[in-house]
Amino acid sequence: MADWMFDRRGSPCLILDGDRVRNRRGVVVGWISGNSVYSLRGVHIGWCDAGVIFDNRNAALAFTRDHAGSLPGSPGLSGTPGMPGFSGVPGRPGLSGTPGRPARGAWSSEDPEEYFGS
């Protein structure tokens, strides 16, 4: 089941769809494998724990409404738009190795959609 993800301001920004990350338009922009997050090219770009995506510096990037992972602070959530139609799923690339994970940080300074190259 697909769930909206929210940024540090509580605005909907990404969609978590099983092992895929989609942008607001429903296009696949990344992959989840275990607790690692990968770009469309298969490059490791972060982690996903209990409904929270962390960037490559282990700073919180986006979270689902029912996340169980820890956040640096919980913003109020804005309303969620309707779910867009989903585009086809591209072929999944070979995935790179997972680097060591740094200590958990605060909120990421990255824009979630730009981070995934949307």
Mind listing the pLDDT tens digit for each residue in 93-103?
Answer: 899 888 888 88
Question: What per-residue confidence (pLDDT) applies to 118?
Answer: 56
Contact 15, 23 (CB under 8 A): yes
Mind listing the pLDDT tens digit for each residue in 12-28?
Answer: 999 999 999 999 999 99
Residue with tokens 């959609």: 113
Mind listing the pLDDT tens digit for each residue in 39-57?
Answer: 999 999 999 999 999 999 9
Q: What is the DSSP string of 44-98?
A: EEEEEETTEEE-TTS-EEEEETT--S--S--PPPPPPPPPPPPPPPPPPPPPPPP
Answering whether pTM is above 0.85, one says: yes
Residue with tokens 């989609």: 22
Average pLDDT over residues 70-91: 86
Where are the chain's structural domains? 2-115
Question: What per-residue confidence (pLDDT) applies to 13?
Answer: 96
Question: What per-residue confidence (pLDDT) applies to 104?
Answer: 85
Contact 38, 45 (CB under 8 A): yes
